[in-house]
Structure 1
Amino acid sequence: MLSYQHIYHAGNAADLHKHALLAWMLDYLTGKDKPLSYIETHAGRGLYDLSAAEARKTAEADAGIARAEAGNWLSADHPLMQPLMAVRTRYGDSAYAGSPLIAQHFLRDGDSAHLAELHPAEYDALNNVAGTAKLYRQDGFAMAQAVSPPTPRRGLMLVDPSYEVKADYAAIPGFLQSISRKWNVGILALWYPLLRDDQRQAGMIRELQSSFPDALTSEIRFPPAKPGHGMIGSGMFVVNPPWGLDAEATRIEALFRD
């Protein structure tokens, strides 16, 4: 399906949760003088304008990055604030960094990046900001299978589908198991929504926790963006979590409970 465009949701509470943990992991990985690979299965356009009509139509960023900054949730030296400030300096005060630009901020010469995006307009927009990353206009799950294990073998994969294809919930456990067999040292980070009265994500996570008992599960909950909206929270499931990520996840989770 090619209808999903993240501009309507960019910078929302789920993005804040996901991107804060992603940036923390990338900062941790690049703190060591060893090359790494970054793989993203559903990259989107990479750069978002939170003043655009699409973003203001939902105004979801008001409960996400705008709320976090107003409440000083993230210190100036938090890993997420570094790429966010960089894109604002380059593209303007309403710019917001999607995960490809967050990764781009941290990656160094000698690191590699593989980004998949199937939507033609999103792919074209991503192509304008992707830098040296290798882009794939194809199904992200297929791309990830094809490039795993990557070179360098050290690294991180972000799996972030829209879940418009409902079969994703059933397919993802097997997908992560397959990638883990090929790339047993890779950090595999899966984002998923928490939906009202919907047990698909709960069943998926139970299966994943059974397969990966040492993985990190981080979940936050928040009010629906608008009355009747189904998403009431955000989850991150991380296989091979780096040391210290659990403490950062606990800190982020507490912010949403205050």
Structure 2
Amino acid sequence: MLSYQHAYHAGNLADLHKHALLASALDYLTRKDKPLSYLETHAGRGLYDLAGPEALKTGEAASGIARAEAEGWLPPDHPLMQALTAIRKIRGPGIYPGSPLIAGHFLRFEDRAHLAELHPGEHEALRQVAGFATLHARDGFQMAQAVCPPTPRRGLLLIDPSYEVKTDYAEIPRQIALIARKWNVGVIALWYPILTDHRHLAMTAALVTQFPQALLSEVAFPPARPGHSMVGSGMWILNPPWGLQDEARRLEAIFRARA
């Protein structure tokens, strides 16, 4: 489906959880003097205006990244906060970067990036800000299956669908198994929403059964507004970089204390 646009939800508490782990992983991976590949299956537009009508309509950024920054949830030297500071110096203080630009902050000249985005408008917006990457106007899983194993083989894949397609929950474990078989050294990161009906449970149970060594991190928070069904955020990460499990537990403690 092509109706989902992340501008309404950019900078919410789920983004904070996801992007804090993503930035920490990329910060570690890029410390080594070895090139890497970054892949993303559902990239979005890459850059969001938190003063825009979409963000103001839902208020999710105000109760998410804006609140977290005001209350100091993450220290200034946290990789996500360093990326936000650097990107805002270039793009403006009222913006929030999506995962492609957060990744772009860490990637070096010798690294390679592949970003898939099927929505025509989102793809065009992404093209204007992600000149560092090869863009794919195609289904993200098809891109990942075609590119993997990437060159360089070392790297990270982020799977971050909208979950508007109901079959995503059942299909994702199969897709990940195929990718992991081709790319056994890749860091494969999956984000998923935790909804009031807990529809993610069968998916995560299948992943835990297939890959018991993977990192699973979940945080809970109140609905962004009355009637909103998302009450938490989950990240499942295969082959997590050293130290990421400790970072996940720190984030979970922060959410328990403050969300």
TM-score scaled by length of structure 1: 0.98
Q: Which residue of 2 aligns with 1:78?
A: 78
Cα displacement (A) at 1:85: 1.0
The separation in 1 between residues aligned to 2:81 and 2:53, in whole angstroms, is 24
Q: Which residue of 1 aligns with 2:131?
A: 131
Q: Given the alignment of the two structures, is residue 48 of structure 1 paired with residue 43 of structure 2, yes or no?
A: no
Q: Given the alignment of the two structures, is residue 228 of structure 1 paired with residue 217 of structure 2, yes or no?
A: no
The separation in 1 between residues aligned to 2:39 and 2:240, in whole angstroms, is 16
Superposed, 1:3-14 pairs within 5 Å as 3-14=3-14
The separation in 1 between residues aligned to 2:201 and 2:44, in whole angstroms, is 25
The separation in 2 between residues aligned to 1:161 and 1:26, in whole angstroms, is 20
Cα displacement (A) at 1:250: 0.5
SS at match of 1:118: coil
TM-score scaled by length of structure 2: 0.98
Q: Which residue of 2 aligns with 1:114?
A: 114
Cα displacement (A) at 1:62: 1.6
SS at match of 1:114: strand
Cα displacement (A) at 1:132: 2.1
Q: Given the alignment of the two structures, is residue 256 of structure 1 paired with residue 232 of structure 2, yes or no?
A: no
Q: Gapped runs of 5+ residues in structure 2?
A: none
- The one-character-per-residue Cα deviations of 1:184-203 (angstroms, maximum 9, x if unpaired) are 000000000001023x2000
Q: Is the 8 A contact 2:87 2:105 kept in 1?
A: no
Letter of the 2:224 counterpart: A
The separation in 2 between residues aligned to 1:172 and 1:41, in whole angstroms, is 12
The separation in 2 between residues aligned to 1:88 and 1:214, in whole angstroms, is 37
Which piece of structure 1 moves more, 127-136 or 74-83?
Answer: 74-83
Superposed, 1:1-258 pairs within 5 Å as 1-198=1-198, 200-258=199-257
Percent identity over paired residues: 68
Aligned residues: 257
SS at match of 1:77: coil
Runs of at least 4 residues of structure 1 off by over 4 A? none
- The one-character-per-residue Cα deviations of 1:70-127 (angstroms, maximum 9, x if unpaired) are 1111111110012211221112111111100001000001100000000000000000
The separation in 2 between residues aligned to 1:252 and 1:66, in whole angstroms, is 17
Which piece of structure 1 moves more, 76-85 or 134-143?
Answer: 76-85
The separation in 2 between residues aligned to 1:155 and 1:71, in whole angstroms, is 33
Q: Gapped runs of 5+ residues in structure 1?
A: none
CA RMSD in angstroms comes to 0.7
The separation in 1 between residues aligned to 2:27 and 2:91, in whole angstroms, is 22
The separation in 2 between residues aligned to 1:76 and 1:176, in whole angstroms, is 34
SS at match of 1:64: helix
